[in-house]
Amino acid sequence: MFLDALTPVQEIKLAHWTQTMRRSMLRQMIAVVSRPGILSFAGGLPAPELFPAADYAGATSHVLATDAKALQYGPPFQPLKAHIVKLMAQRGVTCTEEEVFLTTGAQQGLDVLTRLLLNPGDDIILEELVYTGVQQCVAPYQPQILPVSTDLALGIDVEQIAAYLAAGARPAFIYLVPDAHNPLGVSISRERRGQLVDLALRYNVPLIEDDPYGFLHYCDVMEAPMRSLNASHVFYLGSFSKILAPALRLGWMIAPAELVSKLTVAKEASDLESSALTQRAVAAYLDAGHLPAHIEKLRSEYGRRCAAMLNALEYFFPAEARWTKPTGGMFIWVELPGSIDTVDLLETAVTQEKVAFIPGSAFAVPGHQVTNCLRLNFSNTTVEQIEDGIQRLGVVIKQYVY
């Protein structure tokens, strides 16, 4: 009735932030480098051959056969919260079921916290090299990012944070991966954890403690999370993606109990609720007592792969290269001589040796330059592939160095 037949079709107007939208280089590359024939250290994928597929299938079948609520809408599954309280105790964290908030993966925890804490244009503190998912979460809010450097042995530079705060900055939050940092592989020292919590309380700034790798440690002990030091200002994010399987899309947050109803509203906007079926199937898997042995298996195998990669780097990489020595997680961060551009190196490595990694620049916050670094994943390849691949990568790098 209204339309002139000759009206041209116009382009839909998108929100302003989309003009600076960038696809996660990391997730784009996962598609590219997972082509057959490429030996990839690029992704952050767990080892699929270690997934407890049969046990989880058993748990799912059991739940679907016995629990009429498994396929319905419903409130968070309380027995799963009880399991998470016990899991947290293993990490040295005391919490209650009322502080457990279930999420559709830890990424949703980040997204929901962003919604709860961040106003458009607010300040936030991020490391210069940081998990790409947090940058994607905050992008629509176009925040001011206060960048902080990271010591490759001790973790985030606390003095730099203290200086921002002392100068009057009041960021909406500080985002941290204290154990087995992605992409750097470093864990924050015990002393710095205490200092971070002190700063959070002194300046009333919440900490987001993202801990996907905390159960995957390859040394005898791992530091307790910051959430063990403070309950009022630390939002802890946990995940079943790395200790069970990513496709469950199930994680959790430990948050102040009085904020859980607000978190619930923010989460409802996002996906109403996490799958009742998955919540029950994971609880059934945990009921059966499978998890401790499974985590032991992961630690043993990933520890072997990590050691193999560290050895291979020592043997095959040029003497000028430096890398982190992770005590957990999935990643090693490598610094090459400053003249090497790792984006260029990647193209050569893929073309010439069919080996892939992620250039460090994929993780840089806007304005931060990092050209000579790369991230290696050791969880998704066998020891043999690691030795072979690092050797081949070493060959390519030496062409650039010498």
Restricting to residues 10-39, name those near a second copy by CB under 8 A. Answer: 10-16, 18, 21-24, 27, 30-31
Residue carrying structure tokens 């985590």: 295
* Single residue of 89, 153, 247, 293 touching a second copy by CB under 8 A: 247
Residue carrying structure tokens 């050209």: 371
* Single residue of 78, 90, 94, 204 touching a second copy by CB under 8 A: 204
CA angle at residue 194 from 252 to 307, to 5 degrees? Answer: 70
State which of positions 112-171 bind a second copy (CB under 8 A): 115-120, 133, 136-137, 139-140, 162, 170
Write the binding mask 65 to 104 for a second copy: x where contact by CB under 8 A, - elsewhere: x--xxxxxxxx----------------------------x
**C-beta separation of 111 from 283 below 8 A:** no
* Single residue of 40, 150, 228, 278 touching a second copy by CB under 8 A: 278
User: What CA–CA distance (Å, rounded) separates 7 from 230?
Assistant: 61
Phi/psi of residue 178, each to 5°? Answer: -70, -30
Query: In terms of residues, how long is the chain?
Result: 402
Which amino acid is present at 104? T
Token pair of 402 as six digits: 């010498």
Quick one: residue 41, left, alpha or beta (phi over 0 = left, psi -120 to 50 = alpha)?
Answer: alpha
State which of positions 42-71 bind a second copy (CB under 8 A): 43-46, 48-49, 51, 53-54, 56-57, 60-61, 64-65, 68-71
* Single residue of 79, 147, 246, 303 touching a second copy by CB under 8 A: 246
* Residue among 8 and 367 whose Cβ is closer to a second copy: 8
* Residue among 313 and 330 whose Cβ is closer to a second copy: 330
Kindly determine how many residues on this chain lie close enough to bind a second copy according to the rule CB under 8 A. Answer: 97
Interface region with a second copy, contact rule CB under 8 A, candidates 3-11, 220-228, 359-367, 393-401:
3-11
State which of positions 331-390 bind a second copy (CB under 8 A): none
Query: Which helix (H) or strand (E) element contains residue 346?
Result: helix 342-348
Residues 6+ apart with CB under 8 A from 224: 91, 92, 93
* Single residue of 152, 154, 201, 365 touching a second copy by CB under 8 A: 201
